[in-house]
Structure 1
């Protein structure tokens, strides 16, 4: 999908135009699913202090390419998850050797099952505020959008059509909501990322 414009709902800003043509929207939608799953595995690993699970999450992230928009650097990456695994590993030589192997493996051009990868945009969403932007959706191509928070607050995700009607809502009590529209009509959709918490949160937003 095309990221067309960005604006903070609490304080409207100017529009930014962008055009792109992802080669395989369905593959990039699957990539978003894998990234969200990696975030969930990483959260489980933190809660259980399970370094092996954190390595699984890192390998899942390393599988996926992304196309970064302007803004803060992504905070959920293979490298940051390996940093967390290293902190958990202590002096375990086998774990440290596996981390080193993952860090130093060939990073040249590799075939990817997920195409060019989803667009990633990182923003800081203030407490009890909404960050919104528009995307251009291709007709009948699956659209998937995810918003991965940094874990401090409950994050919701809303997609609206031009009339303001809600097309998709994920209001689960978590910090990685996902919206999927299987056969969109095409045209502009508004994405709204809602921070329900009392503190600001970094949010890593993904869309194909």
Structure 2
């Protein structure tokens, strides 16, 4: 006996294949969605971790900037203290310079010259006075230029002829600018001169029997 299948089996097979394909496609889409979701979650975790690191770095940078500002402020304070200390040391060193200035002016001023005004501005000294002749002004300039350990670089500012109050004599008014050396500049020179003077004396004493 021969059995003949009259049902549309080809259509049923195609229908099953389509269903299998769509099921596989849906499964693949679901797996892809799960993978994408997991990757997105991993990326968000990485971004969150990097954001936390960035925040920590920003906080450390702010701390370092504050420390740098503190260091700069400390350096400024140190420089200010050094400047004050130097000013105090200079005052202590130069407290006797007016005495040396007056002593040197007395020593280097020739006879016939009268000082009427002495003005000191730092290391610059302006001397004004009267003299009987121009030669005495020249002598004063030579003395302060070559013979004074405290005074140097004399500059004649003005010299003019004037009559005395009684009108009988012709005098000369003058102004000279001088430079007053600092104490620390004079002491080494004095030490050199002292050593140079002691050397011949030591040599002479050594020759004596």
The structure number with the bigger radius of gyration is: 2
How does the TM-score come out when normalised to structure 2? 0.20
How does the TM-score come out when normalised to structure 1? 0.20
The higher relative CO (CA closer than 8 Å, separation ≥ 6) is in 1
